[in-house]
Amino acid sequence: MISLNNHLQAKFNSLIEDFIDHKIGICNHFISADLANKLRLHLQELHDNDSLHQAEIGQQLVQQKNILIRKDKIFWIDRKHHHPVEDEFLDMIDALILYLNITCFAGILDYEFHYAWFDKGSFYKKHLDQFHANTSRKYSFIIYLNKHWKKQDGGELKIYDVDGISLIEPTNAKSVFFQSSEIPHEVLFSNEIRMSITGWFKVRPQE
């Protein structure tokens, strides 16, 4: 577990305040450039070793692969892997969850995260992150790992909100935080390889 210094607390507060004000929290340099680089290299290694698998849609018995809806490849991050880079990232997530539970009474009990690799020409059509049959996913959290992203690279996160449509650029080390059941979104067509980490903070499912 990492210690919550003033610098880290400031990042957490910035993310939370933006979420409260706009329903979408954004922090442009949530993780350090060093951690972003290590995560990117790890994801590249997983890709080169053919460890990624095609993402699926749905949950449990209704899971299916549908490249007409999403074309990303993923790898689940887990402490069981005993990988130092994954553990370093999850240490920061643990600190954020503790802070959210203490300051916002968020009630977060668990989480799940995976790497996401979008090849050129990949996308993820409009969707919500919360399953109909399981309401445990409360908050969605994304970290981008695109070191030299340019406008022409595409792959923006398109947000559909009551206030209109907004585009979030997938720039390196940026985090995005929103409520899983309330924010429809999609990943636009990517003209270059697009890398990120996506995850969900989970609460007790509603009865």
- 203, 166 in Cβ contact below 8 A? no
Residue 92: closest CA among 28, 163, 12, 19: 12
- Burial letters 116-145, b for 16+ CB under 10 A, else e: bbbeeebbbeeebbbbeeebbbbbbbbbbb
Q: Six-digit token pair at 5?
A: 């210094």
Domain map (residue ranges) of the chain: 6-58+65-202
Q: What is the pLDDT of residue 58?
A: 56
Residue with tokens 């999609």: 186
Q: What is the pLDDT of residue 151?
A: 96
Distance CA 58, CA 189 (A): 21
- Residue 82's CB is within 10 A of a number of other CB atoms, namely 8
Predicted confidence band at 60 (pLDDT cuts at 50, 70, 90)? very low
Residue 68 has pLDDT above 70, yes or no: no
Distance CA 171, CA 166 (A): 15
Average pLDDT of the segment spanning 76-86: 97
Predicted confidence band at 61 (pLDDT cuts at 50, 70, 90)? very low
119-155: per-residue pLDDT in tens? 999 999 999 987 666 789 999 999 999 999 999 999 9
Residue 204 has pLDDT above 60, yes or no: yes
Average pLDDT of the segment spanning 33-52: 97
Distance CA 32, CA 5 (A): 14
Mean of the per-residue pLDDT values of the chain: 91
Q: What is the pLDDT of residue 133?
A: 64
- Burial letters 33-60, b for 16+ CB under 10 A, else e: eebbbbbbebbeebbeeeebeebeeeee
Average pLDDT of the segment spanning 150-171: 93
Residue 85 has pLDDT above 60, yes or no: yes
DSSP string, 124-139: EEEE-SS-SS---EEE
Q: Which CATH number fits domain 6-58+65-202: 2.60.120.620, 2.30.110.10, 3.40.630.30, 3.40.47.10?
A: 2.60.120.620
Q: Which residue has the higher pLDDT, 60 or 1?
A: 1
- 199, 114 in Cβ contact below 8 A? yes
Residue 175 has pLDDT above 60, yes or no: yes
Q: Which residue has the higher pLDDT, 132 or 51?
A: 51
pTM for this predicted structure? 0.91
Average pLDDT of the segment spanning 7-26: 95
Residue 207 has pLDDT above 70, yes or no: no
Beta-bridge mates of residue 132? none
**Rounded-to-10 torsion of CA 49, 112, 11, 89:** -40
